[in-house]
Amino acid sequence: MKQKRWKYIQLNNSGSALISVVAVAIFLSVIATTIIYISGKNYQIKANDYQNKNTFYQAEMALDELKGALAADVSEAFKYAYREVMPEYVTKESGDKRNQDFHTIYFDCLYYMWTGATKYGTDIGKDEITTHVTVPGESVYTTVENFAADLPNFQQYFIPEDKITEEDEKMCVALDPETPGRFIIKNVRVRCSQNGYSSYICTDIALDPPAYYMGRSNAGGEEEGAEPGDGFVPKDIEKKKLYMGDYILYMNWHKY
Q: What is the pLDDT of residues 93-143, one digit of tens each?
A: 666 778 888 899 999 999 999 999 999 888 888 788 989 999 988 999 999
The residue-averaged pLDDT of 220-240 equals 46
- Between CA 208 and CA 81 the distance in angstroms is 13
- CB-CB neighbours of 126 under 10 Å: 9
Largest CA distance in the chain: 135
**Which pLDDT does position 92 carry in this prediction?**
61
The pTM of the full predicted model, rounded to 2 decimals, is 0.73
The reported pLDDT for the residue numbered 227 is: 45
Write down the pLDDT at residue 93: 62
Q: Which residue has the higher pLDDT, 32 or 64?
A: 64
- Could you tell me the pLDDT band of residue 8, with boundaries at 50, 70 and 90? low
CB 71 within 8 A of CB 248: yes
d(CA 82, CA 90): 14
Number of Cβ within 10 Å of residue 106's Cβ equals 28
Cα separations in angstroms, 38 against 28, 35, 172: 15, 5, 48
Which of 156, 184, 227, 149 lies closest to 74 in space, CA to CA? 184
State the pLDDT at residue 96: 73
CA distance 153 to 209: 27
Question: Among 18, 131, 3, which residue's Cα sits nearest to residue 76?
Answer: 131
The CA distance from 46 to 17, in Å, is 43
Summarize pLDDT for 15-28 with one digit per residue, the tens: 566 677 777 788 88
pLDDT tens readout for residues 63-96:
999 999 999 999 999 999 988 888 776 566 666 7
Average pLDDT, the chain: 81
